[in-house]
Amino acid sequence: MTTIQATGLHKSYGPSVALNSIDLNVGEGRILGLIGPNGAGKTTLLNAILGLTAYQGELSVLGRNPWTQRDQLMNDVAFVADVAVLPRWMRVSDAIDFVAGIHPRFDRTKAEAFLARTTIKRTSKVRELSKGMVAQLHLALVMSIDARLLVLDEPTLGLDILFRKQFYDSLLNDYFDHHRTIVITTHQIDEVQYILTDLLFIDRGNLVFGCSMEDFDTRYLELIVNPGQLPAARALKPIQERQTFGRSILLYDRVPREQLAPLGDIRTPTIADVFVAFVGQPNQPAPYSPPPVPTPSSYTGAAQ
Amino acid sequence: MTPQTDALPTSFTDTAHATPAARISEARRLFWSIRRELWENRAIYIAPLAVAAFILLGFFYSTVRMPAVMLITDTVNGVVTHTSHGIDPILPYTIAAGLLMATTFLVAIFYSLDALYGERRDRSILFWKSLPISDLTVVLSKAAIPLVILPLLTWAVTVATQSIMLLINVTVFHARGIDTGPLHSGLPLTQNSMMLLYHLVAVHALWYAPIWCWFLLVSAWARRTPLLWATLPPIVLGVLEMITLHSGHVFEFLKYRIHGPGDIDFTASHAGATMPMGATMSISPTQFLTTPGLWAGLALAAVFLAAAIQLRRYRNPL
């Protein structure tokens, strides 16, 4: 079952194009990391998916048009836009009462159980909580909603590393199951690497790279080239080359490990390394089309 | 949906089987949204209650301390007649009603101007929009505060305040040996409270509906200072009209809307009364309901509300 399906999704603000006719297909049970620099179009894409902004092109979320059928859609979708959007005047108990009062899929006992693990007092107001506690509260509310799609836009911005780790652990252990789909954007790429099933890079309104994490782990290798073997290494067509401490580091896509081994030290790149290769280059080949994906600027996550 | 086993360790095992969600009616969502407004804007009830407490304290103090001669009045056939010294005993009650009405009127102005602006300013709109409540329900719940909640609350607080005042009045007069006769026969409090309710519904809710809805519209639209955006354009328009066309239709229109329909047919028998709503009281419900200005205003209010609902859909946090 497809959770998100976009065809030619386009959005421009006057002359500036925020989303450049992108195609996207995210299946049920996936955890998609949407990675891109500031202003790349991440939030615009999420806003379109959440029915917060009008768009051109085709977009279907859980079989519904998010712009025209938003009211029904929001029964099945939960999102955390960023930390600190919980109303500051609200009491913790009021927040639970309110969501329980209006949300058909909210499970109050779950929310209470999540909160019981924290030091958050039921009588506190949001403005009295630390930023980490607000994030915990928001997550407790969202994870108690039996949603089929959860969208997290920079959910851990400004939180310390302990909270961030706890946040993602909680998400994975207590919330995720194979009937839900989660879309996450974040700048702390490497922290989410282990929870993602799919990866998508967005830059200047284009989807420049997409693959599943299984593919990612087998396809990409980094070679720290031995001095003198640089020409041989370059002959294997690296997708990126950079210099660190006087040594060349070359990034390869689908080059067998055995071919690279004699030329230097091999290591597995992080998402950040590959991200820089696709997005960080001044003269990058955009839009990039990875070999198995049929159309440029498109990505089809493993649906089904 | 293909059934798949949940391979991940979860503390809650039932999440995979989505239970058919309980239906939540729009009425219930509206109820919770109005409740939410009262949580957020506690001034809605605290301000009139504080003013009521202030009135009661002042009234108690003045009843106890005022020279007895100022308090003595006579009645002829149940109607209070002014003596050379006495104050009409209804006067404090009327002042109390007027003060409470003025308080909730101010609360309504500031509430309406902030209702759809504040949630964008503090970005909490992103939280509200993550929940399954339509823009229609949210805007209606906010419109209900000045249109329904505040008029009824004003009435309830006023009636309660006046009842306590009467209790204080009778008790203190007894204690000071002043004749309570005029209090029993000369205070048309029940009648006044009915007139007050009529005034609140007719004027504060129905006649002023386009004003409240205009404020809501501006609060949904303005990027800053909704108070200025709500008030300056009509004034500037009026001044421009006076300068260029040498006429005053805009100001005439505004005056008519603010002053109320009492102007049209001022056949009051108690026009000289100190009741703050004297002007409207002179109009019978039938006359009021057949005033075209009422229906034009309500139509305008509906247009403003529809526009506010659309704006909330499109507007992003500031």
pLDDT at residue B127 tops 60 = yes
Q: Where are the beta strands (DSSP E) in chain B?
A: 74-76, 79-81
State residue B13's pLDDT score: 40
**B226-244 vs B91-115: helix crossing angle, rounded to 10:** 100
Give the integer Cα–Cα distance in Å for A167 and A165: 5
Q: What is the ipTM of this complex?
A: 0.85
Give the integer Cα–Cα distance in Å for B303 and A260: 70
Does residue B12 lie in a domain region?
no
Q: Is the pTM of this model over 0.90?
A: no
Note whether B12 contacts A: Cβ–Cβ < 8 A: yes
A-contacting residues in B 27-86 (Cβ below 8 Å): 28-29, 31-33, 35-36, 39-40
Does residue B20 lie in a domain region?
no
pLDDT at residue B10 tops 70 = no
Q: Do A174 and B32 lie within an 8 Å CB cutoff? A: no
Q: Closest Cα partner for A22 from A33, A6, A39, A4?
A: A6
Does residue B205 lie in a domain region?
yes
Does residue B8 lie in a domain region?
no
Domain around B134: 26-314
Check: CB of residue A189 under 8 Å from CB of residue A156: no
Does residue B140 lie in a domain region?
yes
Is the preceding omega at residue B317 within 30 degrees of 0, hence cis?
no
Does residue B65 lie in a domain region?
yes
Check: CB of residue A150 under 8 Å from CB of residue A174: no
B-contacting residues in A 21-80 (Cβ below 8 Å): 28-29, 50, 52-54, 70-72, 74-75, 78-80
Tens place of pLDDT for every residue, chain A, 304 residues? 789 999 999 999 888 888 998 999 999 999 999 998 888 888 899 999 999 999 999 999 999 999 999 999 999 999 988 767 899 999 999 999 999 999 999 999 999 998 998 899 999 999 999 888 898 899 899 999 999 999 998 888 878 888 888 888 888 888 888 889 999 998 888 888 888 999 999 988 888 888 888 888 888 898 888 888 888 888 888 888 888 888 888 898 888 888 888 888 888 888 888 888 887 665 444 444 444 433 444 555 544 3
Task: State the DSSP H helix or E strand holding residue A220, giving kind and residue range, or none if neither.
Answer: strand A220-225
How far from each other are the two terminal CA atoms of chain A, in whole angstroms? 6
Q: Do A80 and B130 lie within an 8 Å CB cutoff? A: yes
| pLDDT tens figures, A21-50 | 899 999 999 999 999 888 888 889 999 999
A77 phi and psi angles, rounded to 5 deg: -120, 135
Tokens at B134, concatenated: 């339509």
Q: Do A173 and B133 lie within an 8 Å CB cutoff? A: no
Other CB atoms within 10 Å distance of the CB of residue B177: 8
Q: Which residue of B has its CA nearest to A152?
A: B130
Check: CB of residue A111 under 8 Å from CB of residue A170: no
In the structure, what pLDDT confidence band is assigned to residue B86 with cuts at 50, 70 and 90? low
DSSP state of B67: -
| pLDDT tens figures, A146-161 | 999 999 988 888 788 8
Give the integer Cα–Cα distance in Å for B113 and B116: 7
Q: Do B32 and A102 lie within an 8 Å CB cutoff? A: yes
B299 phi and psi angles, rounded to 5 deg: -65, -45
When divided into structural domains, chain B yields a total of 1
Does residue B7 lie in a domain region?
no
Does residue B230 lie in a domain region?
yes
